[in-house]
């Protein structure tokens, strides 16, 4: 994917130069770039699904999250508490478990680096019926979530982008809640059936 991304950047530069004098050629370049970008997105999604920690592959999501929490405690002295409903895990495909692990790991790392939190909680529980809720919460310094989300909409934020895009891979709905002095809460509503996917799409 990195080579393709570099090629897209090079073609974008070419298209920019062509735009004034050869608009048709520039349009063709843009169409090629769009197709390359779509293929790259698919490749990256495939990588997200297939690059899994061995413990996730062999022992499942609960063991993988507990191993991640233990690593955070042993390596960084960061207290991470994991509370997972095993009945929810039983309903998840391996691809979903892989993405949930990646979201949790990213959110925990963000909290460790920026929140100055004493505790970080990772929870996975039923929300209602065929929808589960993944929640990563900390008791750290918090921040102005509205300002950060507005900035994300304008120019993108890599951390938020990762969390939101990974949520979308499993048809999840991403939500961020934080205030200065009140910690941070990341939530992803995860549909477990086709009917739940439709309801979440329409926010029903």
pLDDT tens column, 62-75: 999 999 999 999 99
Using one digit for the tens of pLDDT, what is the confidence trace for 153-196?
544 455 677 898 899 999 999 999 999 999 999 999 999 999 99
Q: Are 86 and 132 in contact (CB under 8 A)?
A: no
Task: List the chain domain ranges.
Answer: 2-49, 56-201
Which of 114, 131, 125, 113 shows the shortest CA–CA distance to 171? 131
Structure token digits, residue 47 = 């990588």
CATH 3.30.565.10, domain 56-201, yes or no: yes
Using one digit for the tens of pLDDT, what is the confidence trace for 121-144?
999 999 988 999 999 999 999 988
pTM over 0.85: no
């Amino acid at each position: 994917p990195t080579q393709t991304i570099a090629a897209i950047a090079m073609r974008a530069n070419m298209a920019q130069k062509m735009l004034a004098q050869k608009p048709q050629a520039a349009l063709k370049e843009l169409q090629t770039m769009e197709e390359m970008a779509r293929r790259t997105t698919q490749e990256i999604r495939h990588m997200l699904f297939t690059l899994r920690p061995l413990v996730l592959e062999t022992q499942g999501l609960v063991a993988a999250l507990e191993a991640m929490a233990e690593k955070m405690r042993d390596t960084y002295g960061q207290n991470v508490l994991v509370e997972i409903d095993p009945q929810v895990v039983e309903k998840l495909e391996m691809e979903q478990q892989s993405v949930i692990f990646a979201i949790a790991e990213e959110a925990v790392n963000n909290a460790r680096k920026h929140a100055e939190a004493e505790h970080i909680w990772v929870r996975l529980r039923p929300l209602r019926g065929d929808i589960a809720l993944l929640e990563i919460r900390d008791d750290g310094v918090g921040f102005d979530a509205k300002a950060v989300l507005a900035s994300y909409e304008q120019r993108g934020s890599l951390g938020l982008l990762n969390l939101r895009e990974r949520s979308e891979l499993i048809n999840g709905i991403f939500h961020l809640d934080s205030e200065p002095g009140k910690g941070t809460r990341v939530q992803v509503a995860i549909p477990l059936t086709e009917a739940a996917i439709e309801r979440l799409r329409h926010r029903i």
